[in-house]
Amino acid sequence: MMNKIGAKWRRFKYWLKHGFLSVENIILVLAIVMCLTWTYQSIKAMSRNWELVERLNTEKKTLELLSIEVEAAELENEYYASDEYRELAARKFANKQLTGEHMVYLPENSEIAKTKFQEKTAIQQEEKTYSNFGKWMMYLFPNN
């Protein structure tokens, strides 16, 4: 019985040394490991590049938005430094007037003026509810 186990063990060692760990098998295993490593690293590099491109696009959009805000602030500062703004601010806050100007106080809108405005908005809202075909029909046949 001991001889059978010893013989099996020697056969296994022989197969391991000459069958499994042959030069061809070792080269094949190394080639497979290298291919898997290369594939993994390529996918990792592509995903990192994708993330960097997304971050770059986000930063570009942020930069563009900030440059627009800076430009708007500069234009606003130019307006506040202009004579036109100074004159309007003096008229509003200090009740300054130019020579020859007179204040005119207008009465509040009458009920007719208020309802006229409401009728126009109601008509405009009705026009918006029509479909494209309905608008064409109203344009071609205005009396219907």
pLDDT in tens, 5-14: 888 888 888 8
- Comparing 63 with 92, the larger pLDDT belongs to 63
What does the chain come to in residues?
144
pLDDT digits (tens, 9 = 90+) for 114-142: 777 676 665 565 555 677 888 888 888 87
| pTM of the model as a whole | 0.43
Distance CA 71, CA 64 (A): 11
pLDDT digits (tens, 9 = 90+) for 15-71: 777 777 778 888 998 999 999 999 999 999 999 999 999 999 999 999 999 999 999
Which stretches of the chain are DSSP H helices? 2-14, 23-81, 83-94, 111-129, 132-140
- Average pLDDT, stretch 95-111? 76
Q: Are 91 and 97 in contact (CB under 8 A)?
A: yes
